[in-house]
Amino acid sequence: MDTKTLPKVDPADLFESQKRKALQLKKSGAQERIAKLAKLKEAINANAENILEALYLDFKKPPQEAGIEISGITNEIDFINAFLESWMTPQVVPTPEDLGGEASDSKIILEPKGVVLFLTPWNYPFLLTIRPLVACIAAGNAVTVKPSELSPHSATLMKEILGSVFPQDEIYVFEGGAEVATELLKLPYRHIFYTGGPQVAKIVIKAAAENLSSLTLELGGKSPSIIDNSADFVEVAGKIAFGKYLNCGQTCMTTDYVLVSEMRKDEFLDTMKATIEGMYGREGPGINSTAYARLVNRKHFNRVKNLLQDALDKGATLVAGGQIDEAENYISPTLLADVGPDDAIMKEEIFGPILPVMTYKTLDDAIDFVNQRDHPLGLYVFGKDKANIDKVISQTTAGGTVVNQTILHNASPFLPFGGVGYSGFGKGNGYFAFLDFSNQRPVMEIKAGKWA
């Protein structure tokens, strides 16, 4: 599809048909929704090889990493289907005595919001589109989806998969670029789910304000890993490297920079360098590697390359990596030391395979450094000193935190996932996503008391 051409299906006409469908979906019971999600799971599993191929064609995501997108979706379906009936059961709550007390009834019912718009990203295109979509379907909504045009093979396949399971007045996928999103944002969706960067988020917020649409924003920011002196550096290095270089660093919640005590800086850098070389080889995985993803396109490659060069020009030390191939949008796993706090690489989200390391004199200094910046999507703290770990958690704010690991909190359906402030708002995962796509409607039946 030419991204300068608007879609053949008229967004306004589709919106009206989805509004009508939403009234029907509101009446659907748990078993009907469970059956739909089971059918979606079958379609995902049947297309597993096609999903792996689409992700490789879009930015050479290796099958070992691409499989996470499939299992993340199917696990979410299994989890939600196991609990959906209980979630949909009205929650009975007490009634104050002066409103009738036990003689009156109060309850909370969760009803669908109606027609929802999804604007979703390219870095985990299937996972970050279909996993939240599962909760939105479970909540009984009709949905219009606009995936990122930067992963076109994935977008086309998602359209085919979802179209094979749902009629278009229930779930419909628009392909295309920013002009399609612009047209969609003119419509009065009851809720908008957006995953991406803060600049586009501001556009989404303004559009939502025009129609008083509620929002879920999953953004990003500069997520730190704070390493306490009590940590085992060999263990820490392996865990940080895994989370950081997964998907070529294109993960919104991954470690964006490390804070380590200046007295153990050299030890950490040596350990981290050895870990990177042990995982990827002394010269990096190489441009012929099929086990290492690429930056998604030339624009993003140039942005990350320029961040690296700017840091080096301003005095940063290249400790490991730094291999670049423009034709392949390839940057090897890279480790930097001696980065300045005012360097560009410390002011914007890297979203690439470069890890800056900064030092602190005291743990209080590290906490102050984090608190002087926007609240991150993730904050990771490593160490064996529980008092210090508790101190970091209690004196900082973040969308989520993992102790002695990174990014894994998003894999748990029992934990809410989302940002705070500049890193987003609204929550995903399991019940928390179901709640985000639902209206919590109080119902009170007065039977006795002074208001009867």
The pLDDT value recorded for residue 103 is 78
User: Running DSSP on this structure, what letter comes out for residue 384?
Assistant: S
The pLDDT value recorded for residue 104 is 84
| 296 in the same domain as 200 | no
The tally of domains found in the chain comes to: 2
Mean pLDDT by 10 residues, the chain (452 residues): 59 98 98 98 98 97 95 98 98 89 90 98 97 98 98 98 97 96 97 95 96 96 96 97 97 97 97 97 92 96 98 97 96 97 96 98 98 97 98 98 97 96 94 97 83 56
| 153 in the same domain as 249 | no
The closest alpha carbon to 397, from 428, 423, 435, 415, belongs to 423
| 139 in the same domain as 86 | yes
Classify residue 451: in a domain, yes or no.
no
CA atoms within 13 A on the CB side of 380: 28
| 17 in the same domain as 158 | yes
Residue 28, SS3 per DSSP: coil
The range of the structural domain enclosing residue 233 comes to 224-411
| 258 in the same domain as 215 | no
The closest alpha carbon to 161, from 288, 48, 317, 246, belongs to 48
Go through the chain and tell me how many residues it has.
Answer: 452
The pLDDT value recorded for residue 4 is 45
What is the rounded distance in angstroms from the CA atom of residue 256 to the CA atom of residue 398? 14
| 300 in the same domain as 264 | yes
CATH (domain of 275):
3.40.309.10
| 265 in the same domain as 166 | no
136 is catalytic: no
| 244 in the same domain as 202 | no
Classify residue 15: in a domain, yes or no.
yes
The pLDDT value recorded for residue 8 is 82
Classify residue 6: in a domain, yes or no.
no
Of 69, 170, 175, 252, which residue is the catalytic one? 252
Of 76, 170, 175, 218, which residue is the catalytic one? 218
| 406 in the same domain as 298 | yes
What is the rounded distance in angstroms from the CA atom of residue 330 to the CA atom of residue 286? 8
Phi, psi of 296 (to 5 degrees): -65, -30
CATH (domain of 15):
3.40.605.10
